[in-house]
Structure 1
Amino acid sequence: MANMEKTTKKANPFYLTKEWKKKRQEILDRDNHECQECKRQGKVTTRHDMVLEVDHIKELNEYPELAMDNDNLQTLCKKHHNIKHGRYYKFKNRPKKPRSPLINEEWFGD
């Protein structure tokens, strides 16, 4: 049920307001356009490396009164934002499709 209650940009018009867009830019600037989780891990991830998002530390749908509170906002890269919200899956362990040994023969006449 918690997954159904998650607030997304598509579902919540809050993220389209001028006030949020201004606050979002303020937080990105405050955090030097660096993912704060990467920084805690000793890495530097900036807007030049990947997409950065402004995250509500305490969820917006549970704490709407903290929606614009600077202390409740942090910059995260997309990877860490997705991990936080349980949307990150490792594809490394996914089984690979078997490759046909005949591909070269079929296509290149070897």
Structure 2
Amino acid sequence: MIKPLRISKQRAIAAIPPKRADPYYLSAQWKEDRASVLDRDGHMCTVPGCGKQARVVDHGRARRWGGSDKKENLRSLCDDHDREFKERPDGSRKGIVEGRGFEKCDSRP
């Protein structure tokens, strides 16, 4: 009989580095903007027909492509829709396509 292969913790293939937050998202200004957008949207997900509680404030046009922090570029999302827009079914991050934003969400001014 063949013995099962054992992999010890010391022989791990790769360690996942800890996630580092952009310092901007820890600023008082972002916290104020986030609270304002959640209040504007009634703490509800802005995806039509969703009706779940929003926990995430997301940029429609990414900051890295010149998207602003103006309220018109921000939307409230539930955890499920935040993952849908940002992750593939296997959990890996989707590539961000410039110019795409609120195509699945309504943008409330």
**TM value normalised by structure 2:** 0.60
- Please report the RMSD computed on the Cα atoms of aligned residues, expressed in angstroms: 2.1
Specify the alignment match of 1:89 in structure 2.
Answer: 89
Q: Kindly tell me the number of residue pairs found equivalent between the two proteins.
A: 73
Higher helix share: 1
Displacement over 3 Å in runs of 4+: none
- Asked if 1:57 is matched to 2:60, the reply is yes
Q: Counterparts of 1:77 and 1:29 in 2: how far apart (Å)? A: 14
Taking the aligned partners of 2:56 and 2:71, their CA distance within structure 1 comes to 14
Separation of aligned partners in 1, 2:73 and 2:82? 14
Give the corresponding residue for 1:17.
27
- The runs of 5 or more residues in structure 1 that have no matched partner are 1-8, 91-110
The answer to whether the 8 A contact 1:53-1:75 is kept is yes
Q: Point out where structure 2 has 5 or more consecutive residues left out of the alignment.
A: 1-18, 91-109
The one-character-per-residue Cα deviations of 1:9-34 (angstroms, maximum 9, x if unpaired) are 83411100000000000000000000
- Are residues 1:43 and 2:47 paired? no
